[in-house]
């Protein structure tokens, strides 16, 4: 069975950013509520909630929505920097950006099937400069 997990990224008023990962079971059993109370977190502190893709990179790091990855497709020798996104009807996709106007392309429906190597190098919330 697939593991359902979410990464919560929080930003304090002093700009300190930290995160915590919860499984669906932990959320259902109230551990999120306890964590918020212990860490004095309110909804305004939570920047984003990212879902786990149920995949790992080449270093066995969990891949979440919003992660920035270096990818290499089977048909290519070059690496591309992409953001992991949910593609509505297409499931998980890699979104790559190019040009001064930040145009993009989406690698639909084949997020992990036609990619030879994936390495998480950050996430869009904490490291937007990587894109």
Position 75 confidence tier, pLDDT thresholds 50, 70, 90: confident
Does position 110 have pLDDT exceeding 60, yes or no? no
> What would the mean pLDDT of 119-124 be, rounded to a whole number?
92
> Is the separation of the CB atoms in 94 and 106 below 8 Å?
yes
Domain match, 86 and 106 both: yes
Q: Residue holding tokens 């502190």?
A: 45
- In the predicted model, what is the mean pLDDT of the chain? 85
Mean pLDDT, rounded, for 62-80 = 86
Q: Please check whether residue 113 lies inside any domain of the structure.
A: yes
- Which residues are within 8 A (CB) of 4 and not within 5 positions of it... i.e. 6 or more apart? 23, 24, 51, 52
Domains identified in the chain, total number: 2
Residue 57 in domain: no
Q: Is the pLDDT assigned to residue 111 strictly greater than 60?
A: no
Torsion of CA 80, 126, 120, 29, to 10 degrees: -140
pLDDT digits (tens, 9 = 90+) for 14-70: 888 889 999 999 999 999 999 999 988 888 888 899 999 888 899 999 999 999 998
Alpha-carbon distances, residue 86 vs 8, 51, 83, 95 (angstroms): 17, 9, 10, 10
Domain check: are 1 and 44 in the same one?
Answer: yes
**Looking at the predicted structure, is the pLDDT value of residue 88 above 80?**
no
Same domain (yes/no): 28, 5: yes
The range of the structural domain enclosing residue 37 comes to 1-52
């Amino acid at each position: 069975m697939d593991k359902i997990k979410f990464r919560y990224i929080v930003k304090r008023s002093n700009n300190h950013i930290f995160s915590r990962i919860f499984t669906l079971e932990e959320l259902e059993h109230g551990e999120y509520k306890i964590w918020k109370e212990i860490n004095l977190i309110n909804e305004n502190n939570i920047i984003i909630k990212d879902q786990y893709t149920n995949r790992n990179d080449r270093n066995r790091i969990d891949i979440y929505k919003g992660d920035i990855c270096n990818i290499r497709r089977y048909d290519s020798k070059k690496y591309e920097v992409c953001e992991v996104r949910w593609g509505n009807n297409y499931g998980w996709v890699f979104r790559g950006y190019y040009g001064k106007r930040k145009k993009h392309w989406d690698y639909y429906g084949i997020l992990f099937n036609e990619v030879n190597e994936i390495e998480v190098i950050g996430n869009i919330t904490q490291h937007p400069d990587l894109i």
